[in-house]
Amino acid sequence: MKIITYNKNYSKQIPELFTNSIHNTCNKDYTKEQLNAWANPNIDYEVWEKRLDKTKPYLAILDEKLVGFAEFYDDYIDCFYVHHKYQGQGVGNTLLSHLLNQAKQNKIKTLRVDASITAKPFFEKHGFKEVKKNYVKRDNQDLINYSMTLNI
């Protein structure tokens, strides 16, 4: 597996991975209505392409296939997702390790993330601590996530 910086060749696969990962892995923690509000199954590729051009996420690639991605800017990890069929196989660990290396190179002392109920145990396993519980409103749905930090 390799971690690369954003490549437009993956611009359609990224939102598909995002949507499928949420709907296939977070369904034990969130209702169908919440999942749809968080990751609309009717993907707006144009909106995503504009976002990706700005955020330039890191991509986890295995045999030329996108298996995960993470947006990382300043000290904040955003959109950290692993393909639902590749979870538990080290993709998240590899992505996070890459982000930690980037943070150290940029002399960042603390990382922040807003983790879903589903992702919270992963980040806790890597030393992140909960700062506060958040209630996020999306399309009239209340979603819970957790602001977490890691001192490097």
Count: domains in the chain = 1
Cα dihedral: 58, 76, 147, 94 (round 10): 30
Q: Please give the backbone phi and psi of residue 29, each rounded to the nearest 5 degrees, phi first.
A: -110, -15
Specify the pLDDT at position 6.
Answer: 97
- Burial of residue 35 (CB within 10 Å: 0-12, 13-18, 19+) is buried
Q: Is 32 inside a domain boundary? A: yes
d(CA 19, CA 88): 18
> What is the four-CA torsion angle of 81, 87, 90, 93, rounded to 10 degrees?
30
**List of the chain residues with pLDDT < 50:** none
What SS3 state is found at 112? Answer: strand
pTM: 0.94
pLDDT at 104: 95
Q: Are strands 76-82 and 129-138 parallel, antiparallel or unpaired?
A: unpaired
Residue 133 in any domain: the answer is no
In a domain, 11, yes or no: yes
**How many angstroms separate the CA atoms of 57 and 53, rounded?**
9
78: containing domain: 2-108
Residues 6+ apart with CB under 8 A from 75: 103, 108, 110, 111, 112
147 domain residue, yes or no = no
pLDDT at 26: 97
- 54 part of a folded domain: yes
Report the DSSP beta bridge partners of residue 135.
144
Q: Does residue 137 belong to any structural domain of this protein?
A: no
Kindly state whether residue 98 falls inside one of the protein's structural domains.
yes
**Domain containing 47 — which CATH number?**
3.40.630.30
Give a yes or no: residue 145 inside a domain. no
pLDDT reported for residue 31: 97
Residue 20: what pLDDT?
97
Residue 32 has a pLDDT of 97
